[in-house]
Amino acid sequence: MAVSDKPVTIIASDRAPSTDEFIKGLWRENPVFVQVLGMCPVLAVTNSGANALAMGLATTFVLVLSNALVSALRSFIPKQVRIATFILIIATFVTVVDYLIQAVSLDMHRALGAFISLIVVNCLILGRAEAFASKNTLGRSILDGLGMGVGFTFALLCLGGVREILGSGSLFGFALFPAGFQPWIVMILPSGGFFTLALWLLLFNRLKARKAARGVTGEAAA
């Protein structure tokens, strides 16, 4: 039997989905702490842990379903109108999640306000649709959306938890300190969001630098 000498090309989009597609969004490519995407909701709705969790889950819902639909229809969407089509798909799922939040809790819907609708223009969601879902299989696109969504939710909870604890003395509405505790009002104001984000970014960059240094030390020792 003759064996062909032609090189075999493996297309990335045809690979089987792996857990790496999910894990990368949690840490290595975290959308907030690494890629610094979606800063509008990150700074605006993280004045409490409950608001941060609700926005994170809503964004994850839209991200996973829009990635799945874009990937499923990628062969049928003309290149000339792909961005408009992606926005239409995202807007459809944002409308669904808007009504779901309104049905579950009117108070939460009022607290999040216009930022639910602004999920449509979240650069994280459109970016994953254009850069990943439109070029990969359905399974990989769902895992990518889920990983990025969970990573985004994790980042929102990191900010929302710190701001609520220091700014209100509570977490998810449960008091953590005695009655004499003086809350840091600045933490629930917009300036507190910038300050908290800066501290988390500093921590993540420090951890990345230490990991890179250990890798260089290990290679030198080897």
pLDDT in tens, 126-178: 999 999 999 999 999 999 999 999 999 999 999 999 999 999 999 988 888 88
Helix axis angle for 138-168 and 123-131, nearest 10°, is 160
What percent of the chain is modeled with pLDDT above 70? 91
Helix axis angle for 82-104 and 123-131, nearest 10°, is 130
Identify the pLDDT of residue 152.
95
Domain residue spans in the chain?
Answer: 24-173+184-198
Identify the pLDDT of residue 150.
94
Which DSSP category does 189 fall into? S
Instruction: For 174, list phi and psi in degrees, rounded to 5.
Output: -95, 125
Mean predicted confidence (pLDDT) in 116-132: 90
Number of helices followed by number of strands (H, E) in the chain: 8, 2
Q: Which residues of 189-200 are buried (b: 16+ CB within 10 A; e: fewer)?
A: eeebbeebbeeb
215 pLDDT band (50/70/90 cuts)? confident
Among 10, 4, 14, 6, which Cα is nearest to 135's? 14
Which DSSP category does 83 fall into? H
The predicted-structure confidence for 102-116, as pLDDT tens digits, reads as follows: 999 898 999 898 889
Higher pLDDT, 218 or 183: 183
Mean predicted confidence (pLDDT) in 202-209: 88
Query: Are 31 and 158 within 8 A, CB to CB?
Result: no
Instruction: Report the chain's mean pLDDT, rounded to a whole number.
Output: 87
Identify the pLDDT of residue 222.
66
Identify the pLDDT of residue 15.
59
Query: Are 200 and 158 within 8 A, CB to CB?
Result: yes
**Residue pointed to by tokens 């700014």:** 167
